[in-house]
Structure 1
C-alpha cells in the first residue's frame, strides 16, 4: 500500500448540515492520504450509496479508500481496502474473502494483537485508542503513548495512531515515535476542514523535524 501520513475517518454526526462528500473532499484537499468510511448504524443500502460516492471521490483525487467492517460493500465498490476490529471476521478469513490484493487494516490495543496482525499478513494496524475518545462507542480503555513505543520496537508493518488525538496532544504522539495519525472529530467537525488538515500536517512536519 502507498505510505500515508494523515488518515481521516468519516463521522457524519459531527458535521450536521454538511454533506459527507463535501466534508471529505475538503479533507483530501487539505492533505489527507486515506479516507475510511465507518458507518455502523445505516442500512446496508445507505452504506453502499455512501461508499460509491466516496469511491468516486477518492479515485478522482488518487487517495486510498478504506471501508470499515462491510466486506461486501468494500468489494462491491472496488475499495482499496477493508478495516476490521478484533471482534470482526478473523484476519485469515477476511483475506480469503477479499483476495490477495485488497489492503487489510486491523485495530489493535495490545502488543500481542499487533504481533498477531503482523504475522497474519495485515497491511497496516491501528494503534489505540491513545487517549480517551467519544467518537466510537464501546471503546476500550486508552492504551497511552507507551503502546506506540512498544510498536516502534517490535512491529515493522505500517501503523497509524488513533483515538482522541487532537492538535493539543499531537506532539506527545509524535514524540513517542508515530509517523501516521488518524483523526475523526478534529478533522470533520472543523469549521474549515481543508485549513484544519493543512494545520495538522504542518504540525506533524514540525514535530518530525524536531524529533530528527
Structure 2
C-alpha cells in the first residue's frame, strides 16, 4: 500500500522562482500555510545536487507527515528514500518505476489528453496530474492548455485521484475543484508569492470550501 497522501494543495518547486527566498524556506512557509504534498522539480540539477535538495526537504517534511515526490527521477527517489515519484509521458513507465520503488511508493503520472490516457498504463499509478489547465511559463515541454473543460472531460474517464495543474492561481481553484479535482497543484502561485504562507492559506481555504 502506498504511503497515505492528500492532494488538496500540491506544491511543485521551481528553484528559479525561489532563488531569492531559498528552496527550503519557501517550502517551509508553504507548508505552514497548508500545503499537503510537495514535488521537487529541478530539471537543471544533476543527480547529486538533486539528491542533496531532496534529503534536505525530507528532513523538513517527514516530521510533519508530508510526502516528498521527486519529478521524473526514479533513481534519485530510490536513492534518498522519497515517498514517491511523478512521471511525465516520456519518463520511465509507471510499471518500471513501481518495480524499482516498491509497493509503498506514491506514483503520479501526467496526462494531458485522451491520446495520452489511452497510451498510459494506470495500473501501477496512484494519482494523475492533469493539465496544463492554463498556459504556463514554468514548464517548457507542457502541452497546450486544456482548460477547465478539458480537465472535466478527462476526469470523467479516470477513476484515480486527480490534481489539476498548469498556471493555476487562486481565482482558478474553485472551478478546478468543481470540475472534479481532488486538489490543485501550483508552482508560481506559491513559489513567486510575496507572502508564501498567506498565499497557501488562501488556496487551501478555497479547496476546502469547494469540498463542503
Query: After TM superposition, is the score higher than 0.5?
Result: yes
SS of equivalent residue, structure 1 residue 126:
strand
Change in Cα spacing, 1:24 to 1:133, as seen in structure 2 (3 Å) is: same
Is 2:14 the counterpart of 1:11? yes
Q: Is the 8 A contact 1:132 1:141 kept in 2?
A: yes
Q: Distance in 2 between matches of 1:105 and 1:182?
A: 12
- Measured after TM superposition, the shift of residue 118 of structure 1 is 6.0
Structure 1 range deviating more: 146-155 or 14-23: 146-155
Matches of 2:201 and 2:186 in 1, distance apart? Answer: 13
* Aligned counterpart for 1:37 among listed residues 30, 35, 40: 40
Q: CA RMSD in A?
A: 1.6
Report the secondary structure of 2:156's partner residue.
helix
1:165 aligns with: 168
The two structures have a TM-score, normalised by structure 2, of 0.92
Q: Does the Cα contact within 8 Å between 2:7 and 2:184 map onto a contact in 1? A: no
| CA–CA distance in structure 2, aligned partners of residues 85 and 27 of structure 1 | 24
Residue pair 1:162, 1:181 contacting (<8 A) in 2 also? yes
CA distance in 2, matches of 1:119, 1:70: 19
Partner of 1:136: 139
In the other structure, the counterpart of 1:126 is 129
1:193 lines up with 2:196 in the alignment: yes
Trace 1:91-106 onto structure 2 (pairs within 5 A). 91-106=94-109
1:115–1:155 Cα contact (<8 Å) kept: no
Question: Is 1:2–2:31 an aligned residue pair?
Answer: no
5+ long unaligned stretches in structure 1: none
Spell out structure 1 runs of 4+ moving beyond 4 A.
Answer: 115-118
Equivalent-residue separation in structure 2 for 1:71 and 1:23 (angstroms):
24
Report the number of matched residues.
Answer: 209
How far does residue 171 in structure 1 lie from its aligned partner after superposition? 2.9
1:47 matched to 2:50? The reply is yes
* Within-5 A mapping of 1:51-90: 51-90=54-93
Q: For residue 116 of structure 1, report the CA deviation from its aligned partner.
A: 5.4
How far does the alpha carbon of each residue in 1:51-78 deviate from its partner, in whole angstroms, 9 at most, with x for none?
Answer: 0101111112110110011112111111
Residues 149-164 of structure 1 mapped to structure 2, 5 A cutoff: 149-164=152-167
Contact 1:114/1:125 (8 A) holds in 2: no
Structure 2 stretches of 5 or more lacking a match? none
Mapped partners of 1:99, 1:186: distance in 2: 33
Whole-Å separation in 2 of the counterparts to 1:34 and 1:158:
14
TM-score (norm 1): 0.92
Whether the 8 Å contact between 2:39 and 2:70 is mirrored in structure 1 is: yes
